[in-house]
Amino acid sequence: MIQESLDESSLRDSKLTDEEALHLANELTLKLNEGEIPGTDAESIKRMVAGLGDQRGALRLTFAKSLGAVGEAAIPILCDALRHHNNVVVRRASAKTLNLIGSKEALPDLLEAFLEDDDPVVLGSSAGAMATIGPDAMESLLGILVNPDCSPFQVGLINLALSFIGAKAPEALLKAADSECSEVRVAAVAALGDQIQSLGDQKAQARVFQALDDDSSDVRAEAATLIGKSCDAEDVQDLLIAKIRDNNVQVRKNIAMSLMKLDATETIEELLIAEKDESDPDVKAVISAAIKILKNKI
């Protein structure tokens, strides 16, 4: 038996003793090995969720796999644990288990956990679960970027999630790249890189090229970096060098770095002129480094 009754009020404190957890894990392992679905009643699910707090990784994995096999019946209790359990290990494991299930029913709670939990692992696992849900989660992920309290760490996780989703929802990502919100455009443009590199998506590539003229310097800087990662020099070197005098310092840096990464040796003369004209010492240093490296490629 669990040490205390697993009613709704006590779920946030629920735990198993070491002996109880081992016994339950052995029972579940037998069922899984025999192709049986573990108990789908609320009490059984709560016992498995309580087991997610065990310090032994192998046992936590058994409980997670068992809850994953239970599927959607486990979602309400897992979501409750994700949002309210006092043990951070349970919250982390609940998010990871919801990732295994991959149901959009969990989306509201995953979103709240991502916005409100203070544990970075919970945030990362919640973002991963939303990415697994796929296109249905895209609007929610993009909506977070408008939140002024969204941290750089959260932005990074959203970008990773959007990259994962992008291949499943290319048109939605292209639409997001035209958002009125610059933060959303930055995230969408960044996510388009996977489509360009993995799928050779010409629409995505054209949209990233267009982003070099965006009103937002953050969008232009992201596009400059992405082009350097996902394109061939002969296709983009003229496009990039034409932006080497952008009015934003970071954009100019990113342009120079991308030309360097692309081995765009045909732009050396233009870079020499840009280096001479550059007034910002940091940008000048980046351009100088790019010129030196490109000369060594000849």
Could you tell me the residue ranges of all domains in the chain? Answer: 1-133
pLDDT in tens, 16-74: 999 999 999 999 999 999 999 998 999 999 999 999 999 999 999 999 999 999 999 99
Contact 183, 189 (CB under 8 A): no
Confidence band of 10 (pLDDT split at 50, 70, 90): low
Q: What whole-number distance in Å separates Cα of residue 95 and Cα of residue 79?
A: 8
Residue 6: per-residue pLDDT: 43
What is the pTM (predicted TM-score) of this model?
A: 0.77
- Which helix (H) or strand (E) segment holds residue 114: the answer is helix 107-116
Q: What whole-number distance in Å separates Cα of residue 121 and Cα of residue 81?
A: 15
Lowest mean pLDDT among 6-15, 101-110, 232-241, 265-274: 6-15
**Fold annotation for 1-133:** Leucine-rich Repeat Variant (1.25.10)
Average pLDDT over residues 218-241: 91
pLDDT in tens, 104-153: 999 999 999 999 999 999 999 999 999 999 888 988 888 888 887 888 89
Q: What whole-number distance in Å separates Cα of residue 33 and Cα of residue 143?
A: 42
Confidence band of 4 (pLDDT split at 50, 70, 90): very low
Q: What whole-number distance in Å separates Cα of residue 92 and Cα of residue 126?
A: 8
Contact 16, 2 (CB under 8 A): yes
Average pLDDT in the chain: 90
pLDDT in tens, 56-67: 999 999 999 999
